[in-house]
Each structure stands twice: as C-alpha cells, then as structure tokens.
C-alpha cells in the first residue's frame, strides 16, 4: 500500500513544530514503520539539528537540489536522503535535509522562483517525487515553513494526504493556523490532481497548566472553539472534540526547551505528566490514520498499544497464568502447548515482576482458574484488558474440574471458557487453546482491493446525497460477500466503492455521510477488520 504524506505546519515560529515532527518520526520508526523526514523549511532549516548526532555523512544536498535535478531533466528524489541511526528500532528512519551545509546555500534558496517553476510543470515533477517516496516509505513527514508562502502551499496543499497544525495559546498563532488549514483545502480543489479533502489534526503545543489553572482552562475553551471545525472530517461523531483536544495537547516542559532533543529516546515509559506521553498520543493518531478515535476517548493506553502491537514481535504467543493450587496440571498444559509449536510464557500467582511491566511479552493471556481467580490473576486481567482494548488479543479462562463459572467475577464469568477434567485433559485443552488463538484469520482473498481502507476513506468523504445511497448498498453487501468466501464479488464491490469515492470538482452540494450510512460503514469496517485483516 502507498505511503502517507503528512505535513507539520505552524503559522508562527517557536511552537515546537520541528521538535514534534522529529519525535513523532522516531516513534513511528520504533513501531516498525519506514519513515522519511523532509525539511522543507528552506529559509530556516532546523530539523537536521535533531538528527545530526545520528547522521554519518555531512549534508551534501537536499530539497533545493530537487530544483536543480528538475532543470536537468533528472528525477532523483532520494539522491540526498540520509539514514538516521537509531538503536533498537524495528522500522527505518531516513532524512532529506533542506540542502547542503555550505556558504552557497542561502543564494541557492533565494534564486528559486517557485511560480515560474510551476509554470514550467514543476508540479508534475513533484508528483513523480511523491510517487517515489510513497512507494518506499510508510510515512513521509514534511516540515513546512511558517506563515503564508509558495513553499507553504506546496507543503500544505499540493503534497500532503494529511495536515498537522501546531499552535500555541494566543490568537495570532491559533487563528493563523486554522486559516491556513482552510486555505489548503480550498487550494487543493484547484489542483489538477485527484486529492480528497485534507484531514487536519490541530495540536495545542507548549501549553502550561501547572500555573494559572483557571486561565489555562479558559484558553482551552478558546482554542477548542476556534479549531472545532477541523475535527469534523475525521473525528468519530460520538466523540466530543473537547475530549480529543485534551489528548492533542503537548505540555510545556522547560527541560526540553534547551537545545534540540528527542525525549522519546530517553523517556522509555513516560507518565501522563511527561512530554513523551503526549507525543506518543499524537504519533498514535497518525499511525491510526486519524481513525478509531472512539477507542482513544475510552482508553488512551490501549489506543497507543494498538499501533505498537501491529508491528510488535511478541516473545510468546500466549501467556499462561498458573495458580499455585494446581501448578502441575498447569505445567502439563504448557508442555502440551509447546509440543504444538506454540511459544508459551508463564506467570505464577504472586509474580510481581509481570504486573510491573510496561509492556506484555505475549499476544494472548490464558488464566488457569482453580476454584476462583486469585487476586494476582484479577490484577493480570485488569492490566491485560487496559492494554489491549480494541485489539485482536484474546483472554481465555481454563477452569479446573469443580470450578463454577457462575461464581467468578462478572467479566470472567461471562467469557467463553475451556474446561479441564478427567475426560478433557491437558492435551485436549492445549489443542483447544491453539484453535482459539488461531481464530480471526483471513476467510477470503480480496486480491489487491483493500476493503477496510476503502471503508475508512468513505467515513471521511463528502459526496452528493444520491451517491451515499449507493455507498450504503455496497457497504452493506461487503461483509456477506467476504463471509461467503466470494472473492470475485468482494473485489467488484471494492472497485465500485473506489469509483464512487473519487473526488469530483462539481460537488458543491457534497455532504459527509448521513448518520444511517455512517453506522453501516462503521459496522462493515469492524466486521472486515476481523474477517479480512485478522485485526
């Protein structure tokens, strides 16, 4: 699937735009994604300072050299891309600087006439660069210059799929950022390329709540009122913007204002009062494609964990929680699971080390319950559920003979359970567990058609009212086609939906999905998330 281009923009300087982009890039790479950072703030490049200690070669060229290549008829968008060396990162992070570290750089920038370049079809050249970047990377993060400019137009209207606007709690920064977001969407309508509406993520930056609490809450309300319209195209209709706005707030921490630093490399398990915590939330919204915001509103930790686990390589397939009262039988279940080739972790009631971990080592959790769940097991359940809400990770109780599910705590008592008995011994239970954690695999091959992504796109689209009726029909039929294993029909439905979602220039009466269609799209997407993607 093609990568996503995301521009980070601020109307005024000093809001932490480059700081936020650099840290988000590191997080996305840590979560297994291929990331390219592009410093398009040509007149005041600063992104390189965050990466300089981790760059081997000196900066020999960059974005300005795209203009030189264009004039020479050469398309080499990755010619000056440099790898950023990071430890223990499962993805990749690369950097395209603004230009070389040389005395000639200022004159090189000042000599560019962007309007004339576009008259000479430089826009088509940038499209080819964009295609190359999105083929090689999952995320391309553009650091745009401030204010209103030709370069700003390239970064906010022409190139991006999504826009992140950072602002501080003053009217000039706030209204300037909102105004540019509106200008960007208007400018996209005039482009000779198919570009859907631009989702905009408003991020309140360097916000200090430690002093003057009443004033800070008053400014929260002001900021929300000014940015409320920016949430309309992507926020779940049942989630209040005020809730998400708080999650999209970067606190002011004076320690990180000195120099160019990457706190996400130092704060391994940040608490809610640390800058890394807020940066993780912003990165997670980006990794979720601005989607699943109902989960963010309900459980922020699970929302962030969900993007980690998409690329996380778990040490174990399942963790077996063993009560001391029935240790031998539990060990036999573990042994039988290992015979089946399943990687098994073990936790013993009273094992404080398991409860204290920030992350889990296993994808699924099995509780062997003898009579009643121990307080340690209940704590394990609480942590597991908190970390895994909204993910395809299973909690499976295995009850010993004589254990009454009706006497278990409400949640455990309602779960589907397996039973250990003289007839149903450890070997049979292990095979049943293997079947349970193997559930949710793909039931139908949908070819190159990404139905789930199409449904997500539909949720944020704007179409004429009559077209929404057709979308309703297509989305309603998709789960049935997938469930029946009808690959041909599933691909046909996806192709038809893709045609309906294509942007149209004459859609002056276009509207977001009506509530009834929104419900159908959400339902179809949830079903297909499991049946097609297994997630």
Q: What is the pLDDT of residue 446?
A: 44
Domain enclosing residue 209, as ranges: 4-310
pTM > 0.85: yes or no: no
- Chosen domain end from 437, 462, 496: 437
Q: Note whether 58 and 89 are same-domain residues.
A: yes
Q: Note whether 107 and 218 are same-domain residues.
A: yes
Could you read off the pLDDT of 493-525 as tens digits, one per residue? Answer: 888 888 888 766 556 678 888 988 888 888 887
- Chosen domain end from 280, 310, 340: 310
**Is 428 a domain residue?**
yes
Q: Note whether 32 and 175 are same-domain residues.
A: yes
For residues 45 and 97, the answer to whether their CB atoms sit within 8 Å is: yes
Could you read off the pLDDT of 237-284 as tens digits, one per residue? Answer: 889 999 999 999 999 998 888 889 999 998 877 888 899 999 999 999
CB atoms within 10 A of CB 211: 7
- Chosen domain end from 437, 471, 494: 437
Residue 422 CB partners (closer than 8 Å, separation 6+): 401
Q: What is the pLDDT of residue 143?
A: 95
Q: What is the pLDDT of residue 355?
A: 56
Q: What is the pLDDT of residue 443?
A: 38
Q: Note whether 240 and 383 are same-domain residues.
A: no
**Is 398 a domain residue?**
yes
For residues 3 and 160, the answer to whether their CB atoms sit within 8 Å is: no
Is residue 204 helix, strand or coil?
A: strand
Q: What is the pLDDT of residue 393?
A: 80
Q: How many domains does the chain have?
A: 3
Q: What is the pLDDT of residue 352?
A: 61
**Is 339 a domain residue?**
yes
**Is 442 a domain residue?**
no
pLDDT in tens, the chain (535 residues): 579 999 999 998 889 999 999 999 999 999 999 999 999 998 889 899 999 989 877 778 899 999 888 988 888 888 899 999 988 778 899 999 998 888 888 888 888 888 888 888 888 999 999 999 999 999 999 999 876 655 557 888 889 999 999 999 999 999 998 998 888 888 887 777 777 789 999 999 999 877 777 888 999 999 999 999 999 989 998 899 999 999 999 999 988 888 899 999 988 778 888 999 999 999 999 999 999 899 899 889 889 988 887 666 788 999 999 998 889 999 999 999 998 889 999 988 766 655 555 456 888 999 999 998 888 888 888 888 777 766 778 889 999 998 998 888 767 877 888 999 988 899 999 988 988 887 433 334 444 456 777 888 888 888 888 888 889 888 888 877 766 666 778 778 888 888 888 766 556 678 888 988 888 888 887 777 655 444 4
Domain CATH number, residue 423: 3.40.50.10140
Q: Smallest Cα–Cα separation from 252: which of 19, 9, 41?
A: 19
Q: Note whether 451 and 423 are same-domain residues.
A: no
Give phi and psi for 281, each to the nearest 5: -65, -45
Q: Note whether 412 and 468 are same-domain residues.
A: no
Q: Smallest Cα–Cα separation from 526: which of 482, 486, 463, 491?
A: 482
Q: Note whether 257 and 344 are same-domain residues.
A: no
Burial of 248 (0-12, 13-18, 19+ CB in 10 A): buried
Residue 284 tokens read as 């997670």
Q: What is the pLDDT of residue 465?
A: 84
Give phi and psi for 134, each to the nearest 5: -70, -20
Q: Note whether 287 and 348 are same-domain residues.
A: no
Q: Note whether 64 and 129 are same-domain residues.
A: yes
Q: Note whether 260 and 334 are same-domain residues.
A: no
Residue 141 CB partners (closer than 8 Å, separation 6+): 6, 7, 8, 21, 24, 25, 35, 36, 37, 38
Distance of CA 51 to the CA centre of its chain: 22
Q: What is the pLDDT of residue 481?
A: 75
Q: Note whether 360 and 393 are same-domain residues.
A: yes
Q: What is the pLDDT of residue 534?
A: 46
**Is 368 a domain residue?**
yes
Output the CA torsion 124→125→131→136 (10° steps): -170
Domain CATH number, residue 55: 3.40.50.300
**What mean pLDDT, rounded, does the chain reach?**
85
Q: Note whether 159 and 212 are same-domain residues.
A: yes
**CA–CA distance, 479 with 523 (Å, rounded to integer):** 9
């Amino acid at each position: 699937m093609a990568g996503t281009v995301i521009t980070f923009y601020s109307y005024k300087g000093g809001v932490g735009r480059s700081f936020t982009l650099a840290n988000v890039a590191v997080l996305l790479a840590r979560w297994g994604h291929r990331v390219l950072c592009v410093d398009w703030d040509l007149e005041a490049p600063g992104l390189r300072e965050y990466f300089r200690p981790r760059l081997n070669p000196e900066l020999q060229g960059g974005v300005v050299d795209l203009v030189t290549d264009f004039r020479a008829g050469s398309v080499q968008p990755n010619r000056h891309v440099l790898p950023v060396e990071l430890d223990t990162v499962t993805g990749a992070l690369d950097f395209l600087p603004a230009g070389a570290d040389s005395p000639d750089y200022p004159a090189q920038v000042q000599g560019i006439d962007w309007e004339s370049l576009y008259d000479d079809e430089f826009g088509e050249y940038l499209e080819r660069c964009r295609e190359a970047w999105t083929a090689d990377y999952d995320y391309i993060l553009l650091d745009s210059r401030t204010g209103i400019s030709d370069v700003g137009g390239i970064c906010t209207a022409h190139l991006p799929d999504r826009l992140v606007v950072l602002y501080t709690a003053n009217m000039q920064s706030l209204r300037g950022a909102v105004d540019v977001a509106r200008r960007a969407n208007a400018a996209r309508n005039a482009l000779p390329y198919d570009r859907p509406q631009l989702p905009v993520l408003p991020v309140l930056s360097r916000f200090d709540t430690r002093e003057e609490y009443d004033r800070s809450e008053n400014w929260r309300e002001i900021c929300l009122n000014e940015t409320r319209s920016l949430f309309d195209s992507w926020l779940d209709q049942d989630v209040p913007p005020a809730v998400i706005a708080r999650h999209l707030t970067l606190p002011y921490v004076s320690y990180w204002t000195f120099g160019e630093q990457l706190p996400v490399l130092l704060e391994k398990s940040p608490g809610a009062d640390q800058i890394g915590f807020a940066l993780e939330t912003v990165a997670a919204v980006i990794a979720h494609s601005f989607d699943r915001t109902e989960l963010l509103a309900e459980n922020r930790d699970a929302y962030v964990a969900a993007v980690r686990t998409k690329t996380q390589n778990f040490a174990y397939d399942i963790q077996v929680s063993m009560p001391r009262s029935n240790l031998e039988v539990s060990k036999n279940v573990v042994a039988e699971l290992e015979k089946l080739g399943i990687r098994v972790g073990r936790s013993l009631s009273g094992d404080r080390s398991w409860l204290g971990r920030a992350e889990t080592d296993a994808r699924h959790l099995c509780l062997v319950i003898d009579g009643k769940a121990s307080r340690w097991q209940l704590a394990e359940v609480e942590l597991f559920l908190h970390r895994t809400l909204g993910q395809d990770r299973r909690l499976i109780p295995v009850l010993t003979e004589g254990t009454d599910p009706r006497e278990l705590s409400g949640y455990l008592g309602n779960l589907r359970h397996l039973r250990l008995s003289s007839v149903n011994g450890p070997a049979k239970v292990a095979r049943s567990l293997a079947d349970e954690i193997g559930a949710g695999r793909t039931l139908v091959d949908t070819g190159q058609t990404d139905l789930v992504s199409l449904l997500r796109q539909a949720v944020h689209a704007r179409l004429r009212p009559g077209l929404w009726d057709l979308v309703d029909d297509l989305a309603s039929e998709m789960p049935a086609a997938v469930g029946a294993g009808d690959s041909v029909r599933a691909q046909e439905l996806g192709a038809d939906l893709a045609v309906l979602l294509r942007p149209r220039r004459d859609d002056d009466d276009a509207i977001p999905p009506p509530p009834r269609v929104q419900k159908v799209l959400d339902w179809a997407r949830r079903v297909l998330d499991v049946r097609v993607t297994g997630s």
